[in-house]
Homo-oligomer: A and B are copies of this chain.
């Protein structure tokens, strides 16, 4: 049922209560006691202590308990320290090392993708630095991932005209919409020679605690170095990296 390696049991039980409440939403003292395998009174005292720190509060009607605003307060302090770039950087470094290619982090910003961070791959020729640049959404893997997090209505709002950059660029909204559907289904996006000939990129979503797509992480490099089979190799690395960052930002189960 529980991990044997606890530490301070009393604290361990209290924290387990928080997890139980997170799972079931609301619970009474008796129910909690049952879940922990301890006596009612024990559960009560633990809950009372949690309550004194406002981590739980009891509903007015019937003495049941739920998570309280103290949690949000802690979360506020957490996100202040755990911002996207700071959390993503070590993961990006690892991914860049493992794949040997350049890794980028981008967010949606005013109808384009804004590149927030970049970690160069191990290769000799350095790509140019995208950080701070606004890049069209429809012609990049990052852009497609970011768009895939929006509903159709917002996609329409955000998209202007789909400029052509190469013969491979997607320029019709219908085709783009179909592509976005694929991205949502597969959980990643690929762009080969769509923005620039000879440039291949693959991107995956980064989600926050609510499950919203708040950013995109990509691996990119010259097309000759990233042919289809190589992309297939890199993909699982990218996906686990993006998921790792999502988890750090609170994207838990359920």
**CB pair B18 A74 closer than 8 Å:** yes
Confirm or deny: A127 has a beta carbon within 8 angstroms of a beta carbon on chain B. no
**CB pair A131 B79 closer than 8 Å:** yes
Please measure, in the bound complex, the distance between the C-alpha atom of A114 and the C-alpha atom of B67, giving whole angstroms. Answer: 15
Confirm or deny: A21 has a beta carbon within 8 angstroms of a beta carbon on chain B. yes
A146: min CB distance to chain B, Å: 12
Contact A3-B76, Cβ < 8 Å, known A69-B247, A247-B69: no
Q: Which of B74, B83, B210 contacts A132 (CB 8 A)?
A: B74
Please measure, in the bound complex, the distance between the C-alpha atom of A50 and the C-alpha atom of B78, giving whole angstroms. Answer: 14
Contact A209-B76, Cβ < 8 Å, known A7-B48, A69-B114, A122-B110: yes
Confirm or deny: A188 has a beta carbon within 8 angstroms of a beta carbon on chain B. no
Choose the segment among A9-17, A160-168, A194-202, A229-237 that binds chain B (4+ C-beta atoms closer than 8 Å): A9-17
Q: Which of B3, B73, B114, B157 contacts A250 (CB 8 A)?
A: B73
Q: Which of B11, B76, B131, B132 contacts A129 (CB 8 A)?
A: B76
A47: min CB distance to chain B, Å: 9
> In this complex, what residue of B is CB-closest to A75?
B75
> In this complex, what residue of B is CB-closest to A154?
B97
**CB pair B116 A252 closer than 8 Å:** no
**CB pair B209 A132 closer than 8 Å:** no
Q: Which of B10, B77, B154, B252 contacts A25 (CB 8 A)?
A: B77
Q: Which of B46, B73, B250 contacts A11 (CB 8 A)?
A: B46
**CB pair A76 B15 closer than 8 Å:** no
Confirm or deny: A39 has a beta carbon within 8 angstroms of a beta carbon on chain B. no
Confirm or deny: A248 has a beta carbon within 8 angstroms of a beta carbon on chain B. yes
**CB pair B3 A75 closer than 8 Å:** no
**CB pair A19 B53 closer than 8 Å:** yes
A79: min CB distance to chain B, Å: 5
> Which residues in chain A, 230-254, are within 8 Å of chain B measured between CB atoms?
247-250, 252
**CB pair B250 A12 closer than 8 Å:** no
- Residues of chain B within 8 A (CB-CB) of A26 are 81
**CB pair B71 A71 closer than 8 Å:** yes
